[in-house]
Chain A
Amino acid sequence: MKIRLLINGRDQEIETDPQTPLLWVIRDILDLKGTKFGCGKAACGACTIHVDGQAVRSCSYPVQLAAGKAITTIEGLGTPEAPHPVQEAWIEEIVPQCGYCQPGFMMAAAALLEKTPAPTDAEIDAGITNICRCGTYYRMRKAIHRAAELKAPVLPEEAEAIAIQDNSDNS
């Protein structure tokens, strides 16, 4: 079956079994290798991508569900010249070790920040459930907080200061 996909802003038509997991379409048909295979059962998060802005584990997501939706992979998240704030923070904190799990985590983190722009530790714990065998969670947490800062239009303290000022103006 022919399916139209909008991947990283590009319109692509592919031919495949509609039940094929999106992961294999991305990796083997479109040759975008940044999205990783770790388990194939939605259990590790290595294959995390965005479908219409939502984090999705692509190994367990039939390609037909993605037809006509906007798909973003790590290759579309940012570039070396214009990295996404999550990637910038990842570089600042020197997060990766072996690196294999990292694209999945960055995609999960980027989606989390869209919903929760300044997540607490508890929100990070609940929202990021991927597996990293090298144990880079400690730096990832720092990087997610840092990415939240980089993304925020103003720093939280400044925002507070502005808010206080606004209030006094109103009184």
Chain B
Amino acid sequence: MKGKAKKISRRKFVVRSLLGGGGILLGTVILARNPLRRALYGVLENPKNLTYLGDISDPMLWFEIRPELPIILHSPKVEMGQGTFTGMVQLAADELEVRPDQILIKHAESASGNIDGLSTGGSTSIAGFWQPLRELSATLREMLRTEAGKKLGVATADIRLEEGVASAGLKSLPYGQIAQGVTEWEIPETPALKEIKDYKFIGKPVPRVDLEAKVMGEPIFGMDAVLPGMLYGAVVQPDKVGVVFGGAEITQAEKMPGVVKVVVEDDFVGVVANSYTEAEAAKAAIKVDWKREREWTTADIKSAIQIGKGDKMLIQKEGRPGGILEDAKDDSSLITATYSSPLGAHAQLEPNGAVASVEGGKATVILSTQVVKLTRKEVADRLGFKEEDVNIVPTYLGGGFGRRLHTPNAVHAAVLSRAVGKPVKCFLNRKEEFQKDTFRPPTQHQLSAKLSEAGSIEAIEHQFASSDVMFNAALLPGFLSTIVGSDIGTMRGGRIQYSGIPNYRAISWHCELPFATSWWRSLGLLANTFAIESFMDELAVAAGKDPIAFHLDHIADNEEGKRLKNVITAVRDLAAFRDSARDGRAMGFACSTDAGTPVAMVAEVRMEGKEIRVDKAWMAIDPGFAVNPDQVRAQCEGCIIMGISAAMYEEMRVEDSELKPIIYGPYRMAQMKHSPKEIEVEIINGTGKPGAVGEPPLGPVGAAIANAVFRLTGQRLREMPLARG
């Protein structure tokens, strides 16, 4: 790696000796490195809003060395399934000179003060930790070396560190023993980081650190948490959208078996009982007066999300696309097409829930969440507590995908716990999980282009309409939406990435819905790429060109352009791409660049009766540098399958103001039989620095399938879900 041994100031590290000198805590500050963080810290107009983001000079990454191994790494990011914990352990192990199994990575509790002020999401975790975690680990290693030298009575230079043991000649000391009794540590100048080629774990397919726990069924999720004397709570949720709580009739519920208390608040009603089934039964006996202004149907939703409605914003412009496209309209040479995507659910397997214990002015809440600090603030505000008196204990997430950026269930559990003076576990049932989701927004896309005589794109435009893709004011403090709101969210993948085209622009229309739509893995990327890449394919056909050659022709020769071209040619060769159907099968191609990571995909489809089947998929990705190639592969496979699910099958409807379906099955999702039998992934390490992995591979999935279907059947599918039942 170039530019190594960059000096970092010692002030970035904080050391705390454990009580009685039994070990050491070493922490580091993570500076606002990624663009989203910078945007948040930099663009804020009202600094008052910053309070719950915490002080960014607080250390967020901590190592804890106790007398015995493993060394504990407290993580401010949560593990949602994307392998973040494994990547972090790899980064630490190599610089610390320990094996991955000698590090135990844990979710940091908010009481430890070192939690991430923002959230886990946006495929940013490993990229953000790449430098600070390796630096912290290398620093700790050198501190241990120095102390070992003192304890063994040899020169520091003669100390050899390996697998958690310091040795010199025949003398040796394990790391835990080195740390014993030391109360004053010397923090060295930051040592040089190793060269990538010298790493034993970084860049290698190290097995996931949570593998055994997950295969043995250990109780690691929020849903599995238990506290002594715990009762079960259930909160009544509306089954209609656009309604407001107007009070409840609870006499019948109070008499139900097992009921401890029915709790009526200004904005919700809940019941606490001795068991889950008793709480659910009593909940069903509560009659709530839901106030509502109007009815909603799917047609209303569709007409709400229209280009030409809502707030218009030009998000990208090069050359003079407007004029050229106007002229083309006049002389009938304009090519246009409209695409759409439906309302989608997160449908993560673990329902949202929490275990809360509120006692003597202190609260503890154990849950799966992507927003630890925000949850703490919400619980503290509701209880009237100071934030220090609320401890949020994050757990492994049974799927995140953006669903856990909003966790009102923590507040519900805390309020119910206070009402009964005992710990309460409270979670959504599946119907509620579907109806109270913060959905993937429906979108509409209009693409227009003009081809030159020679068949290249002279001008292109992407207009798209969507509701919120981040947080709306009802969900979270309004400031988040004013900074990063719908623009960044819906925009993911919405810009034209072909800067070889002389004239292009993208326009976003932000529309309103009566319920929350929010962050769904990769945000607007899946729908935007479906539209743009389907249209690119239509243009290639109109120009009479091979789609891959057509794409390559329009990519500029800059740095991003080169990386995009590399993944395109890699997947072309990997799949041995064919532009025509053969033996009842056809291939389709699409590509996208998201969060700096270019991805290209080829899908091969066949028809089974009337059903589209994706039998094979090939993907090439350039994540910059793959810290764990096996997990990059796993993310590509997972995104391909989740993308097949969302692009082909999933759709929420609104009937009589009720969101439907309310259960898996009717909410159609990809199952084993829909999964490709073969998936090949090629990874290109294009920059030597890790970038985004968890979401970018979703981009091209929908378009690659639709383009393949066109080659097989001649039918152009412009609406998701492609296999509408």
Contacts and interface: CB of A to CB of B under 8 A. Distances in A.
Interface of A: 17, 20-21, 24, 28, 31, 33-41, 43-44, 46, 73-75, 78-80, 83, 87, 90-91, 94-103, 106, 121, 124-126, 128-141
Interface string B276-294: 1100000000000000000
A137 B675 contact: yes
Contacts of A128: 671-672
Given A43-B664, A133-B349, A96 B430 contact: no
A138 B630 contact: no
Contacts of B397: 98
B350 A97 contact: no
A135 B430 contact: no
Contacts of A43: 430, 663-665
Given A73-B217, A100-B350, 18 more contacts: A24-B275, A28-B232, A34-B218, A38-B349, A38-B664, A87-B215, A96-B214, A97-B638, A98-B396, A100-B398, A102-B217, A128-B671, A129-B671, A133-B669, A135-B675, A136-B637, A137-B671, A138-B637
Interface stretch (B51-59, B80-88, B298-306, B705-713): B80-88
Nearest to A128: B672
A141 B219 CA distance: 25
Nearest 5 interchain pairs by C-beta: A34-B217, A135-B641, A100-B398, A98-B81, A99-B214
A139 B221 CA distance: 22
Of the listed residues A38, A75, A139, A141, the one surrounded by the most CB atoms of chain B closer than 10 A to its CB is A38
B347 A133 contact: yes
Contact of A39 (B430, B675, B676): B430
B555 interface: no
A92 B517 CA distance: 39
Contacts of A35: 217
Contacts of A90: 215
Contacts of B217: 33-35, 73-75, 102-103
B713 to A, nearest CB: 23
Contacts of A17: 277
Given A97-B81, A97-B82, A135-B640, A20 B277 contact: yes
Contacts of A134: 81, 399, 638, 642
Contacts of A129: 671-672
Contacts of A40: 429-430
A41 B669 contact: no
A20 B351 CA distance: 20
A88 B82 CA distance: 21
A106 B399 CA distance: 18
B663 A94 contact: no
A106 B216 CA distance: 10
A51 to B, nearest CB: 17
Contact of A138 (B80, B665, B676): B676
Contacts, number: 176
Interface in B48-94: 80-83
Contacts of A73: 217
A43 B429 CA distance: 13
Contact of B276 (A28, A44, A96, A125): A28
Contacts of A83: 215-216
B215 A24 contact: no
B220 interface: yes
Contact of A96 (B211, B223, B351, B664): B211
B210 A99 contact: yes
Contacts of B275: 20, 24, 28
B677 A96 contact: no
B99 to A, nearest CB: 18
Interface in B82-130: 82-83
A141 to B, nearest CB: 7
Contacts of A24: 275-277
Contacts of B277: 17, 20-21, 24
Contact of B224 (A33, A46, A125, A132): A33
Contacts of A141: 672, 675, 677
A99 B638 contact: no
A152 B220 CA distance: 32
A128 B218 CA distance: 22
Nearest to B206: A94
B397 to A, nearest CB: 6
A36 to B, nearest CB: 7
B256 to A, nearest CB: 12
